[in-house]
Amino acid sequence: MDKERLERQIRFIEEIDKEKKIGRQTYLADGSRKENDAEHAWHMAIMTFLLSEYANEDIDVLKTMTMLLIHDIVEIDAGDTYAYDENGVRTQRERELKAADRIFAILPEDQGKYFRELWEEFEEGNTPEAKFAHTMDNFQPTMLNNASGGKSWAERGVRISQILKRNSVTHEGSEVLWDYSYNNFLKPNIEAGNIKND
């Protein structure tokens, strides 16, 4: 047994426990409270297993699940950047790169390199797995916003143009899920006034 390797793995596992404290803007389906990053990642990993049959291209499901489980780890240092916070979005990449440098370096070199490359792959969004991961990352909060009666959208005065901009690549991972999301989550909330129609 390589004791140093195991200790670095355990340090990383302890470090990512902090993800449970990173709050997001999306409410749980029942609207009782907002979810945290760890809950968001877990939810999308399960969703990937269940919904991968709707991907536009064949994907490596385990790779995509892993990508989603680690993609927000950088928010331990960088914080969650609300999708419609224009000022926060401007500095997001810089903050997250710095966090990735620190956090993935905790791991043994081979595992740190793999996670960092997987994180970068998600960020670039070019592979079938990254495209589907982005679909999940957009579908999941849209689904929860709808389930909670549009609570977060209404509180923030979110406009449909903002949501469409945010979802501009959602169809690249799954046309089926984007169509479902638009017709079953977004349109009813526009009609109900929870999303501003501009």
Asked whether 174 and 81 are in contact (CB, 8 A), the reply is no
Residue 83 has pLDDT above 80, yes or no: no
> pLDDT tens across 23-77, in order?
999 999 999 999 999 999 999 999 999 999 999 999 999 999 999 999 999 999 9
The two three-digit tokens of residue 107, written as one number? 């791991």
Residue 178 has pLDDT above 80, yes or no: yes
> pLDDT tens across 88-146, in order?
788 888 999 999 999 999 999 999 999 999 999 999 999 999 999 999 999 999 999 99
Asked whether 100 and 80 are in contact (CB, 8 A), the reply is no
pLDDT (mean) for 168-176: 98
pLDDT at 89: 80
Between CA 114 and CA 155 the distance in angstroms is 39
Task: Give the pLDDT band of residue 79 (cuts 50, 70, 90).
Answer: confident
Task: Give the pLDDT band of residue 82 (cuts 50, 70, 90).
Answer: confident
DSSP 198: -
DSSP run (H or E) holding 166? helix 160-166
pLDDT at 176: 98
Beta bridge partners of 68: none
Between CA 28 and CA 3 the distance in angstroms is 40
Between CA 147 and CA 30 the distance in angstroms is 7
pLDDT at 62: 98
Q: Residue 192 CB: number of other CB atoms within 10 A?
A: 13
pLDDT (mean) for 164-177: 97
User: Which residues of 40-170 form beta strands (DSSP E)?
Assistant: none
Predicted TM-score (pTM) of this structure? 0.95
